Amino acid sequence: MGEFELIARYFAAAPCARPGEGIALGIGDDCALLAPAAGEQLAVSTDTLVSGVHFPAQPDPFLLGQRSLAVAASDLAAMGAQPVGFTLALTLPSFDATWLERYAAGLGQMAQACGLRLIGGDTTRGPLSLTLTVFGSVPAGQALTRRGARPGDVFCVGGNLGDAAGALPLVLAERSAPAELAAPLLAHYWAPPPQLALGLALRGRASAALDISDGLLADAGHIAEASGVAIHIERSCLPLSDALKAFAGETAAFEAALAGGDDYVLAFSLAAEHLAGLRAAGHSIHVVGRVLAGQGVTLLGEGGRDITPSQRGYQHFREPL
């Protein structure tokens, strides 16, 4: 099967490739055409997932389809953007009809959940990798950024931490666990729900925000650096799921929450006065620290003792110590 037949059969005809609001022209030409409303800005983000680096070799293609779009769409949530569309550049080692059908099904299911339309992309032969670019729309001047956290703000996260990192021994088949423990951990690894509704609700409320991909300590550091502030995080305030604590044990659960990465929940700073309204609207928000004058991120243990670890999160190209 040729490249264009592959695109037409598995992607161009998919429900997620139908025209939608903000899209003037989708798949089928040299470029897609986006049509943001007057006064709106486009939010654009690209993520690449490589076999053996971002997911294990020979994954379930349906689950990979969900994950590949979810992690990209999470960046739109972090900016407070309304989802519009996405492109997919897919590199495959060979043609496999069953694999493509299942991948496209998982991708389409996540696209529907996120309100995203497939508007273009590319396919080529080579080691398995996926590059997705997502497009969103946000009113001019209202995008959430990493700059703007202020001393006196509280520092929050939008859900439990560490589940995806805790799931890695299950993903890699290094351990097994009863279904009641394994299922929620694996679900968060393979299909982390982008917090798009929370991102929209944080417009005009959050002073700074991002999504946690490399670990809470590392990503909080990005906000601290961009905003020119210090962030103190209290270990006892970290939200951990019962499944993670039962599977990994308390010590490893905290390590996964602090530096494991792959959470794809939002971390943000805001004035404490906004908490009640956000929670009343149904958003799960956990205050895990505070913003102060200064610089850097500090982890506090019992009695306010500094217990900041040296390993703060995942980094590509880190030189061995």
Predicted local distance difference test score (pLDDT) of residue 1: 59
Interatomic CA distance for residues 38 and 19, integer angstroms: 19
User: 3-state DSSP call for residue 108?
Assistant: helix
Helix, strand, coil tally for the chain in percent (to 5):
40, 25, 35
Which CATH code is given to the segment(s) 154-304? Answer: 3.90.650.10
Site of tokens 């009113």 = 139
Predicted local distance difference test score (pLDDT) of residue 314: 53
Architecture of domain 3-139: 2-Layer Sandwich (3.30)
Q: What tokens does 45 get?
A: 């983000």
**pLDDT tens column, 195-209:** 999 999 999 999 999
Predicted local distance difference test score (pLDDT) of residue 2: 62
Predicted local distance difference test score (pLDDT) of residue 6: 74
Predicted local distance difference test score (pLDDT) of residue 299: 98
Who contacts 259 (Cβ-Cβ below 8 Å, separation ≥6)?
Answer: 215, 216, 217, 218, 309, 311, 312, 313, 314
Predicted local distance difference test score (pLDDT) of residue 320: 35
Interatomic CA distance for residues 130 and 72, integer angstroms: 11
**Distance between the two ends of the chain, CA-based, in angstroms?**
47
- pLDDT-flagged residues of the chain (< 70): 1-4, 312-321
Bridge partners of 300, per DSSP, are 234, 306
278-317 b/e (C-beta count within 10 Å ≥ 16 → b): beeeebebeebbbbbeeeebbbbeeeeeeebeeebbeeee
Q: What tokens does 171 get?
A: 């993903």
The residue extents of the domains of the chain are 3-139, 154-304
Pairing of strands 82-92, 117-125: parallel
